[in-house]
Amino acid sequence: METLIQQVAVGLASGGIYACLALALVMIYQATHHVNFAQGEMAMFSTFVAWTLIQAGLGYWAAFFITVIGSFIASAAIEFAIIRPLHKAPELSVVAVFIGLLVIFHSVAGWVFGTELREFPSPFSKDAWFGGSLMSPHQVGTIFVALCIVAALFAFFRHTTLGLTMRAAAQNPGSSRLLGIRVGRMLMLGWGLAGAIGAVAGMMVAPVVFLDPGMMTGVLIYAFAGALIGGIDNPVGAIVGGFLVGVLENLLGTYVVGTDLKLTVALVLIVGVLIVRPAGLLGRRTVQRV
Amino acid sequence: MQLSSVTPSAGHGVERASTFMTLRNILILVVIAASLAFFAKGYVLFQATMVLAYAIALVGLNLLTGYNGQISLGHGAFFAIGAYSLAILMNWDVPYWLAIPAAGAISMVAGYAFGRPALKLQGLYLALATFTLSVVLPQLLKYKLFQPWTGGVGGIVIIKPDAPFGIPLTSDQFCYLFTLLVTAVMFVIARNLIDSGTGRAMRAIRDHQMAATSMGINHQHYKSMTFGVSAAFAGVGGSLSALAVQFVSPDSFTMFLSISLLVGVVVGGVGTLWGALFGAVFIMFVPELAEKVSKDAAWAVYGLVLILLVFAMPKGVMGLINRLHSKSVARNV
Amino acid sequence: MTRLLEVRNLHASYGATEVLHGIDLDVEEGQVVTLLGANGAGKTTTLRALCHFQVKNAGSITYRGERIEGKSTEDIAAMGIGHVPDGRGTFQSMSVEENLRLGCHARKDRIAVATDLDRMYDYFPRLKERRAQQAGTLSGGEQQMLAIARALMGNPTLLLLDEPSFGLAPLVVKDIFAIMRRIREEQKVSILLVEQNARIALQLADTAYLLETGRIVKHGPSEAMRNDDAVRRAYLGE
């Protein structure tokens, strides 16, 4: 029984990371109706940047904040320069560009930083008080960070005017423009936030799986699964979905299919959800009007 | 409510399989290509064989994406299934000329099996699901339980067949010519499919699924069938590539293969058949060239080229050719 | 009275297709002007052209003495032109109150915003009842009220109203227009009203313009237009 609880706890810790990344995916989807396939690789790249800063002598938190802010700016810039010009382009072209970005980030990371596994420090020291027999301090810390991000975003979107206008711009760009809302800026903001969240997710994952260019591909798949299960247009759903996937992945991986097939579990989950309930558990069922 | 906004169609209106795809043209090209077997040396011949194998797979993917509007980021998986099917069958002493269509059939079943539940998925959801498939497949191929069949991480070795009936060709030459034959056949099949009533139904579904359904087109059937057929093409391409390489292993079929196939379709021109040839040439040779530019960042160059092409030539090479052709026609009118 | 809006030789096109072929229009401060015409005459296009929204425009549009035809939609909105689009354009999955708050997103003065919110609820009591409700679940008439209230929350000087009666039952339309009459008196906002329902539009408006296939064919005070034979035959069914 204790191992079961432990597995659930570990699952929650990975789930926290998936939840963060899923949230980033949902935010971009809500704003643009596109899925950012490159989200994982961008997060991985940010983490490498952080690593470089730490290697250069910067303290962890300094590197952390610089990376997060840098990722925000870079993501916003990508939206402006590459994605925005395609807003009238067909779906396939946009997907192709996202894939192009994925490939570029993946490859450049390997080229600039090398492909060997590297250690990445955790801000939560091994002897911290909040660790225990169930979970390491890092795992507890990860869940805590994930929940903080969720809470902050929730407060931002529900209770600030900027959050309100961002939601409006995503939902109905035409009406928003007529109200004087600058939709383009809202899009950049959305991408920037997604990039920043991705960077945090990467920095939470790296201490566990070690840093290398392939670090985030699996995580991205799990995040997809989480976002879809929760409802691809629902931020709360993304969080719930992410945690759920983390727990399921761990439980099924430990007790049912073994670690080799864990990603397959994600695939089955994704396809399963999409067949049975495409709107996800908490998503809105959209009626397609003729 | 967007209509035909999944793909940039290279030709508007009736969209037959292109004015260039006459039987006569195909025959001419086949003859020219066949002569290559006698001029080219081993490695170039091998590359040419691979180009043809990719072209078949790209035709399949194009059927799905260009003519039916479904986006797949997982066709590398069906390519792999075709390749592995061939390897396994040949290891059971099935002759290659049976194994290849069998591989195609197996891929078709797999494609249909995946496509049927994935029916409800539009655009990006399907892209997501197929992307996951492409990431997961190498894992599945390495899985211990399947090892007796798949050979696990080590893969399976294939022996290239000799030319039959004692024809004086090397096995490389024969492999190339055989692949060329299969390619021609597949192109003709695809062309006939597109120009048939089935093809029109497929295109109707792409352009406006709801309207198509209201006109009595059973979109579920057509969509999963299209998926199955396109997977079959990918499988045949995969099996031919396995024959040429003489080896299959899980790491040959990562998500980057699926990405390459998608790139090939975008580059060649979505919704065209000839585009498959241009696309295949692209994915065969550009990574090599990219490696010359920068050994480690080859894929970055590749990705950059892809993005530039989407901006500069959204309708791919065929789109460009069609545009130039109609301009010259207009000038002569 | 200073002229609030002066439009001269306005052309508008969607892509390569020109829909407005040079129209002239004036709105004085405090006036209600109505633009009448059948389906496809170009009425909605006119409003869009004024806001430079989804159309290409050419010609001159002078608002409060300033030329605005080249400005962006967002800038024009910020200058005090409130546009209630055809189809209402409500944010369906947001609540009524969120919709209203979006109308005044640029305003910083919280107390003034709260006062205006109350005033909107006063004009449209049904919105007050449903303030926490999702806008998409409101009836057509309520959504129209919401759209108007949302535009008014921005404290506009000029209100552009695109076919408020569209798809609504006659009683509901009467209701809405009664409220608009009240708003006009109390808010001192000028209104450019596009309508197919000529009768009720002429009741509210001071002057009227008649648009046919992209050209103004008649204009004048409402009274005169109401008595005009051509107008009566074509648009009033008399």
The domain ranges of chain B are 23-160+169-332
CATH of B23-160+169-332, picked from 1.10.3470, 1.10.760, 3.40.390, 1.10.1060, is 1.10.3470
**Are A99 and B8 an interchain contact pair (Cβ–Cβ within 8 Å)?**
no
Which pLDDT score is estimated for A143? 87
How many inter-chain contacts (A to C, CB under 8 Å) are there?
58
**Are C91 and A175 an interchain contact pair (Cβ–Cβ within 8 Å)?**
yes
pLDDT tens-place string over residues C173-192: 999 999 999 988 888 899 99
Q: How far is the C-alpha of C192 from the C-alpha of C53, rounded, in Å?
A: 16
Which pLDDT score is estimated for C99? 94
Give A171's contacts in chain C (Cβ within 8 Å): 91-94
**Are B8 and A218 an interchain contact pair (Cβ–Cβ within 8 Å)?**
no
Mean pLDDT of chain C, nearest integer: 90
Token code pair at residue B129: 């699901």
Which pLDDT score is estimated for B120? 67
Q: Return the bridge partners of C12, or none.
A: C20, C57
Cα–Cα separations (whole angstroms), residue B243 to A60, B61, B97: 53, 21, 11
Nearest CA in chain B to A216: B135
Cα–Cα separations (whole angstroms), residue B235 to B62, B69, B102, B186: 14, 20, 9, 12
User: C42 touching A, CB under 8 A?
Assistant: no
Torsion-angle region of A237 (φ positive above 0: left; ψ -120 to 50: alpha; else: beta) = alpha
State the chains in contact with C (3 or more Cβ–Cβ pairs under 8 Å): A
Which pLDDT score is estimated for A131? 66
User: C106 touching A, CB under 8 A?
Assistant: yes
Residue C100 identity (one-letter amino acid): L
- Residues of chain B scoring pLDDT < 50: 1-4, 10-15
Question: A134 and A9 in contact (C-beta within 8 Å)?
Answer: yes
Buried b (16+ CB within 10 A) or exposed e, B102-115: bbbbbbbebbbebb
Share of chain C above pLDDT 70, in %: 97
Mutate to test the interface with A, among C102, C134, C146, C155 (most CBs of A within 10 A): C102
Which pLDDT score is estimated for B19? 56
Which pLDDT score is estimated for B13? 40
Which pLDDT score is estimated for A287? 47
- Residues of chain A scoring pLDDT < 50: 287-290
pLDDT tens-place string over residues C72-117: 999 999 999 999 998 899 999 899 999 999 999 988 888 989 999 9
Residue with tokens 């109706």: A33
B188 burial class (0-12, 13-18, 19+ CB within 10 angstroms)?
middle
**Are B300 and A111 an interchain contact pair (Cβ–Cβ within 8 Å)?**
yes
Nearest CA in chain A to B307: A97
Which pLDDT score is estimated for B255? 86
User: B143 touching A, CB under 8 A?
Assistant: yes
Question: Helix or strand or coil: residue A126?
Answer: coil
CATH of C3-90+159-236, picked from 3.40.630.30, 2.40.160.20, 3.40.50.300, 1.10.760.10, is 3.40.50.300
The alpha-carbon gap from A36 to the nearest alpha carbon of chain B, in Å, equals: 10
State the chains in contact with A (3 or more Cβ–Cβ pairs under 8 Å): B, C
**Are B303 and A103 an interchain contact pair (Cβ–Cβ within 8 Å)?**
yes
Which pLDDT score is estimated for A231? 78
Query: What ipTM was assigned to the predicted interfaces of this complex?
Result: 0.91
User: C73 touching A, CB under 8 A?
Assistant: yes
What values do phi and psi take at C35, rounded to 5? -110, 110
Q: How far is the C-alpha of C210 from the C-alpha of C226, rounded, in Å?
A: 11
Q: Flag whether pLDDT at C224 surpasses 80.
A: yes
pLDDT tens-place string over residues C143-170: 999 999 999 999 999 999 999 998 899 9
Give A266's contacts in chain B (Cβ within 8 Å): 132, 136
Q: Which B residues in the span 32-61 are in contact with A, Cβ-Cβ below 8 Å?
A: none
The domain ranges of chain C are 3-90+159-236
